[in-house]
Amino acid sequence: MWAAAALWAWSPSALAFGPSGHRVAGHVAERHLCTDTRAALAPLLGGMTLAEAGLWPDMIRRQPEWEHTRPWHFINVSDRGSVARAARRGPDNVLAALARFEKELADRSLPIRQRGIALRFVVHFVVDIHQPLHVGRAEDRGGNLVPVLVDGRKSNLHALWDGEPLRLPGGPGPRDRARSLPGPGPDELDRWQRATPLDWARESLALRRQVYGFSRSADLPAPPAAYLAAARATIDRRLVQAGVRLAGRLDAVLGPPGGCAGEVATGQPNL
């Protein structure tokens, strides 16, 4: 097994600054993996958890050797546009990048290090697709150019939907939050995991009316309390969906040949 600290050149303590949403989805995924998948993940994670590994692609994209990865985190789609058509425009979007790295992750002939990097991108991109503004408008850079005021703090629409400005003071940490969020029943779990990444992106696009659904007449508008409450609920659901779907994708790629549906068929966390 290679040493994660030597490869990534950062310590676990740095993870305290990572976005909580990726951690939450990672913890949800960990609870829904089947046993064989957990074993296959261990050498690829190099001592990390999925919740930690999913933060890495955001942490390295500002480094010169990784700047080329920045467009891989999102896809631009117009309000009435086609997600599928947007994905076909080129390789530098989140759907195309996820497909490439899932293929690398599944290729057991590749070195562990290469597959470990692929895993980190897969974990991260599954969650990114579930954030509505990662399927965003090019003209406002996925909401980054839309200023908002949340609890008296200047922010932007993209950051709001990342969930960080909506975190309640003194609230649970990502692991406890993941445990407290309602999960899917057996039928819903099956539907969620049968959906494709293209379906996930279309779901995010369908949330656009909600995302932009408040008055922005002021230079720095403050979304109303009802909007913020609905955003919290939607973000929580999207994080659970992302975690459950991530577990399903990893089970399909790394699990036993016959599948492990029987082990998680109840929809209950596999602890």
Token readout for 207 is 């949330």
3-class SS at 198? helix
- Evaluate whether 251 touches 35 at the Cβ level (below 8 Å): no
Per the domain annotation, does 169 fall within a domain?
yes
- Give the Cβ contact number of residue 100 at 10 Å: 16
Taking the C-alpha atoms of residue 177 and residue 9, their distance in angstroms, rounded to an integer, is 29
Domain that holds residue 135: 17-257
Instruction: Pick the closest to residue 22 from 166, 155, 120, 151 (CA basis).
Output: 120
Non-local CB neighbours of 42 within 8 Å, separated by 6+ positions: none
What's the pLDDT at 9? 37
**Number of domains into which the chain is organized:** 1
Per the domain annotation, does 211 fall within a domain?
yes
What's the pLDDT at 120? 97
Q: How far are the Cα atoms of 23, 134, 156 from residue 222, in angstroms, in the given order?
A: 27, 22, 10
> pLDDT digit string (tens) for 179-189?
999 999 999 99
CATH of residue 110's domain is 1.10.575.10
Per the domain annotation, does 39 fall within a domain?
yes
What's the pLDDT at 60? 93
> pLDDT digit string (tens) for 112-129?
999 999 999 999 999 999
Per the domain annotation, does 266 fall within a domain?
no
List of the chain residues with pLDDT < 70: 1-19, 258-259, 261-271
